[in-house]
Amino acid sequence: MADQEETLKRSPSQEKYGRAQSAIKILFLVVFVGWIFIWIMLPTNTTNFKWLPQLQKETNSTYYGIEGASILIYTSPVLVMAALGCLYLHIAKKLNDSNTESCKVPKLDLAIFNRPILVKGPLGIVSGTELAFFLMFIALLIWSFATYLHNGFGTITPQLAAKDNLTIWQEKLNTAAVRVALLGNICLTFLFFPVARGSSLLPFFGLTSEGSIKYHIWLGHIVMTLFTTHGICRTTFWAVTNQISQVN
């Protein structure tokens, strides 16, 4: 027993690497939660009418123009997480180069989440981590669509419909079509995360591109369904408003 305890002791360098990994984990989770918070707040009026105009004003530079806000909101967090993931994996490799048992301890904290939770179903074998991300993504889609529709329908009035020479239901159909397309854009954002073989994000959560390829396929199905629905709604709108002949 004493020999086992001695084996599990970490050297000073391993303690240093362990603290560095813990700090990276905390920073990564802070950025990740902030990024998810951005997606949650994206369909709200607070973002569209308060935060986004202010960000566009502050980030409208010579090099990026009005796209500066989009780069800051959507691209920067992913780049930061990717860099932190690379650093984390680099430190983990240094720990794994050691032959002591202590270097294997950090891997055990995610073992319980990587166990299969579902073994039968359209997604095949699903681990706890994969199931958690899948449920969060579905919840994000439902929340975004409901919020988009609520805010969009809230602006439709008989006066607005009369101004556009439309009926109330035609205005709502047009609004719903646009919101479905916005929902498809969210799916496109996450579409290629599961298939990036050199990704530093998937290994950080204990996932692999090979094991996550099924989510890329299902995301593709969702994208095609949403954009097909968008096309049907828009075509129907053009047909009932006699605008098909005006579409080039």
Quick: pLDDT tens for 51-66: 888 888 888 777 777 7
Please tell me whether residues 32 and 80 are part of one structural domain.
Answer: yes
**The pLDDT of residue 171 is above 60:** yes
Look at residue 110 in the predicted model and tell me its pLDDT.
Answer: 54
Which residues, other chains included, contact 58 with Cβ-Cβ below 8 Å and sequence gap of 6+?
69
Choose one of 59, 78, 110: the last residue of a domain.
110
Domain containing 183 equals 114-241
Are residues 94 and 145 part of one domain?
A: no
Question: What is the per-residue pLDDT for 101?
Answer: 43
Considering its fold, how many domains does the chain have in total? 2
Asked if 198 and 214 sit in the same domain, the reply is yes
Q: What pLDDT sits at residue 65?
A: 74
Per-residue pLDDT of 19-46, as tens digits, reads 888 899 899 999 999 999 999 999 999 9
Asked if 7 and 100 touch (Cβ cutoff 8 Å), the reply is yes
Per the domain annotation, does 248 fall within a domain? no
Q: Three-class SS of residue 145?
A: helix
CA 88 to chain centre: 20
Going by pLDDT thresholds of 50, 70 and 90, the confidence category of residue 203 is confident
pLDDT of 104 reads: 44
Residue that finishes a domain, picked among 58, 89, 110: 110
Which of the residue ranges 83-97, 130-144, 211-225 would you say has the lowest mean pLDDT? 83-97
**pLDDT of amino acid 193:** 83
Mean pLDDT of the chain: 81
Contact 89, 106 (CB under 8 A): no
> What is the model's pLDDT at position 194?
78
- Is there a single domain that holds both residue 167 and residue 217? yes
Q: What is the DSSP letter of 200?
A: S
Give the confidence band of 209 by pLDDT, cuts at 50, 70, 90: confident
For residues 80 and 114, the model is more confident at 80
Using DSSP, state whether 117 is helix, strand or coil: strand
Q: Residues 6 or more apart from 196 whose CB is under 8 A from it? A: 202, 209
**Residues 8, 64 within the same domain:** yes
Q: Residue 145's pLDDT band (boundaries 50, 70, 90)? A: very high
**177 shares a domain with 134:** yes
**Residue 165 belongs to some domain of the structure:** yes
Give the residue from 64, 86, 87, 88 showing the smallest Cα distance to 74: 64
Does residue 237 sit in the same domain as residue 129? yes
The arithmetic mean of pLDDT across residues 74-83, rounded, is 89
Show the tokens assigned to 70.
């989009």
Who's near 85: CB < 8 A, 6+ residues apart? Answer: 28, 199, 200, 201, 203, 204
Place of tokens 């096309």: 231
What is the predicted pLDDT for the residue at 40?
Answer: 92
Enumerate helices (H) and strands (E) in the chain, giving the number of each. 10, 2
pLDDT, residue 2, reads 40
* Mean pLDDT, residues 176-187 taken together: 92
